[in-house]
Amino acid sequence: MDAPTYAVWIKTGDQALGGTDSNVYIMLYGQAGQTDWIFLPTEDIFAFEEGSVDKFMLVAPDVGPLTRCCVGHDASADSGWYVQEVRVEHVASGQAWTFTFNAWVGEEEAGRRAVCVDA
């Protein structure tokens, strides 16, 4: 297996019913391109719960310094999700970016299954 390119921390906000059990994805944009949607497999049933921070190690193409981050889900279960913040670190260089979302992702809550934030 290849070495991870990025470490990602996703903070779910404290809003009531702000967590999700849906399948969650991330897409990163950088000065050298973008990734495809990357599935974030959860370690347990407590991932993406209200007030939680979940960490993932991604093996993905190096897209250079990040310019944008998108997160979304497939609305398969408990689709309303309040994304507070995403922090991404390029493992090899240690360079990190923080993307502040403070946004709902969900058809009922926001009319969308994905949201993007520029750096």
Q: Quick one: pLDDT at residue 110?
A: 82
**Rounded to an integer, what is the distance from CA 51 to the centroid of its chain?**
15
Query: Domains along the chain?
Result: 6-118 (2.60.60.20)
- Per-chain mean pLDDT for the chain: 93
pLDDT at position 1 over 60 = no
pLDDT at position 79 over 80 = no
Which ranges of the chain does DSSP label H, i.e. alpha helix? 107-110
Residues in CB range of 119: below 8 A, 6 or more apart: 66, 67, 68, 69, 97, 99
| pTM metric for this prediction | 0.93
Tokens for 30, please give them: 């950088």
CB distance 58 to 5 below 8 Å: yes
